A and B are shown apart, each in its own frame.
Chain A
């Protein structure tokens, strides 16, 4: 599945001018509120008509201003899970689920039973949307979109209105969608946690523009994107494989190209591939290998680049035998240690800083 998007639209004082492409899997549209993420989704769905541009799915134009192509919303076969669910209030959950069936052309890639099982909807079928909780509404909305047999699923911050336990519940269902149904998804979010956990490709949006589109790990390693990915949560993402597990100590070894990390509470079996986010603020630097410290992860690295100082701190991009990490240190330490590109350093990472929320299952 290849999705190509290039849209320009003037919306009052706001100018949307974004272009990106994606090759299936989960594509995250990431950015602050007001950066134009939802407008992009609406343009893909056909709910917003761009002034200029082209939107194509598998080479077939859905919108092409130059060729005067604008496929009607109901003919695009693009599922949309809205932030607020938008279930039809006058019919039951079961009728909501089947709503798109009568308009679908084929028998549908996913049968009703499978959707009910996948999203845990069996007990909700005879209820009305009014009687559902926020999380239940979202699950029904996802099921309803799936049953319309979409070629692509758009999800607009489906977790925004939910509390933390419901969030992780829906995230789990979205992962099953990605892994079991294998429907391509464009997922709008302003949470880096969700993006790291779900997405293969990230599109970083700011003020109506797509600043970057590419692999999540690559985006995280780029210094110029740091301000947009959020300073607090920002950091590197590495692809790793679960190695040995020390069940007594509750630790697992995560092997990656630049070495290995010990991490606690990893919910995966040896051999499974995982994606690990290491926040910049959890990485310390030393110029000599420290001994007798509690930090279990000490990686030999080399400084690649220095970021722009922000207040007292600076993000330092370091290379661990081919894997890029980012460390946030004070300007005072930079001066004291003489940090500059090319300087060999040791990266120190607390194991307990790598928690469940930092690990995604690829």
Chain B
């Protein structure tokens, strides 16, 4: 076997955290992208700014704010734990949440650009053919923005794989629970003699990110071909 059980565990956890974060944030990202691309409302610039904050703030700030709000004793965290039994603090779900928050601006940006690029005259044509608004979205808008949505999900996924600051601040560095690849590498560099193992995980990181990029590029090309009918 190429990877040790401990390494496999780190890899599996990283993938689980990243996938969960991307999937969970997809509806939010799509809704925000649609709102920012199409709607006119007061405070739009402010919302745009807030969505982009994770891109410019130190990740530690995001992690700390999540800890304050969603920690066991945080106002939101206590409420969620009491009413829904959902706990983020020091759990892998918290790592997924941190990853999705950090990836959100990238996802929203890509999806918003795709929505803005849609020829709205096609949507108008669909409605003259009798399609109600939701059907227009599902049968015209969504297929046309699919490449952008995939692209946004990929960027968010890649960002999640590399997430470090917000994760370690929010959910700490617990092996088997919240210790994703970057955190594991960090831990190994802190112990004497961990260099070789750290390097192995670094290589694993590179392989993982590179395959994500290649797979997504292939998916993107296919989706683009379909969307443009070429």
Contact = CB atoms under 8 A, between A and B. Distances in A.
A73 interface: yes
A273 to B, nearest CB: 33
A71 to B, nearest CB: 12
A100 B211 CA distance: 41
Contacts of B130: 74-75, 77, 100, 103-104, 148
Contacts of B227: 89-90
Contacts of A49: none
Contacts of B13: none
B128 A80 contact: yes
A268 B229 CA distance: 42
By secondary structure, the B interface counts as helix
Contact of A88 (B126, B127, B132, B230): B126
Interface stretch (B117-125, B183-191, B202-210): B117-125
A99 interface: yes
A89 B129 contact: no
A89 B228 contact: yes
Interface string A80-113: 1010101011110000000110011000000000
B125 A80 contact: yes
B131 A103 contact: yes
Contacts of B99: none
Interface in B189-230: 226-230
Interface string B106-123: 000000000000000110
Contacts of A79: 128-129
Given A74-B130, A90-B226, A130-B229, A103 B125 contact: no
Contacts of B121: 82, 84, 86
B223 to A, nearest CB: 10
Contacts of B140: 88
A129 B227 CA distance: 11
Interface in B121-169: 121-122, 124-133, 135-136, 139-140, 143-144
Contacts of B126: 88, 99
Contacts of B125: 80, 82, 86, 88
Nearest to A103: B130
A145 interface: yes
Given A82-B121, A88-B140, A89-B227, A47 B129 contact: no
Contacts of B128: 45-47, 73-74, 76, 78-80, 145, 148
A275 interface: no
A211 to B, nearest CB: 28
A144 interface: yes
Q: Chain B interface: which size bin? A: 20 to 34
A129 B129 contact: no
Given A47-B124, A88-B140, A103-B135, A130 B129 contact: no
B230 A130 contact: yes
Residue in A76, A89, A91, A128 with the greatest tally of chain B CB atoms within 10 Å: A89
A45 B126 CA distance: 12
Contacts of A74: 127-133, 136
A130 B228 CA distance: 7
A344 to B, nearest CB: 54
A145 B132 CA distance: 16
A136 to B, nearest CB: 14
Interface string B33-48: 0000000000000000
Contacts of A131: 229
Interface string A142-168: 001100100000000000000000000
Contacts of A45: 128
A198 to B, nearest CB: 21
A151 to B, nearest CB: 12
Contact of B129 (A46, A91, A100, A128): A100
A144 B229 contact: no
B124 to A, nearest CB: 5
A73 B229 contact: no
Contacts of A89: 122, 144, 227-229
A141 B109 CA distance: 34
Given A103-B135, A130-B228, A90 B143 contact: yes
Contacts of B143: 90-91
B122 A128 contact: no
Residue in A76, A79, A90 with the greatest tally of chain B CB atoms within 10 Å: A90
Given A88-B140, A130-B229, 13 more contacts: A72-B127, A74-B127, A75-B130, A82-B121, A82-B125, A84-B121, A86-B122, A88-B125, A88-B139, A90-B226, A99-B131, A103-B131, A129-B229
> Which A-B residue pairs are the 3 nearest by beta carbons?
A103-B130, A100-B129, A128-B229
Interface of B: 121-122, 124-133, 135-136, 139-140, 143-144, 226-230
